[in-house]
Amino acid sequence: ASTLADRLVVVTAGPTFEDLDPVRYIGNRSSGRMGLAIAREAVRRGARVHLVLGPTSLEPPAGCETTRVRRAADLHAAVMPLAESADVVIMAAAVADYTPVAPSHQKIAKQAGPVTLTLARTVDILAERGQRRASAGHGPVLVGFAAETEHVISRASEKRRRKQVDLIVANDVSRADAGFDVETNIVTLVGPDATEALPLQTKSRVA
């Protein structure tokens, strides 16, 4: 029997959009394909899956409960209570690191000259979960992702240590055949004692 049978697996997927005004936002190129593939595979293996999904045109897989979110703050609010009873938390979403401090309630009018934006750090959800687990001495298996353009493995290793998580899935998003908004991916699994490089393959196979 699958080790995921009847286990609660929380998966995050997709980007977050941080609004500047009712028309404009800061976002990223994540399509959600990798996280959706993981959710689909977890369902196939018998898990109870709760998917927290950022803005994407892709449909969530059948068989999982889905909470849709827009901003990093929304994702944080959804994930934190779910993680309390989860067996596994897989943070595949591309969560914004920064958000506008004072988004406008009206469309910002075009003006001559440059516009200055003040951005604030968003809450680091994976690090917060890692800290909570370390303090409590128990908690879900924690898996994070590291989308990098250089020094991929060293940065992923540091991220895993700093955030106190079990596994980081590292990928080089500067490649045209991997990372954002393509059907394939090439990743390295970075654990506490070893790394395992997977060849280029479909995201469903990576999952």
**Catalytic residues, which ones?**
28
Q: Name the 3-class secondary structure at 91.
A: strand
Tell me the sheet residues that pair with 21.
none
H/E stretch holding 25: strand 25-26
**Token code pair at residue 76:** 């944080």
Q: Rounded to an integer, what distance in angstroms lies between the CA atom of residue 130 and that of residue 141?
A: 10
Alpha-carbon separation of residue 184 from 105, 163, 174, 199 (angstroms): 39, 27, 13, 10
12, 93 in Cβ contact below 8 A?
A: yes
Count of CB atoms situated within 10 Å of the CB of 88: 20
Task: Report whether 16 contacts 79 (CB < 8 A).
Answer: no
Placement of tokens 């976002």 in the chain: 27
Tell me how far apart the alpha carbons of residues 34 and 196 are, in angstroms, rounded to a whole number.
18
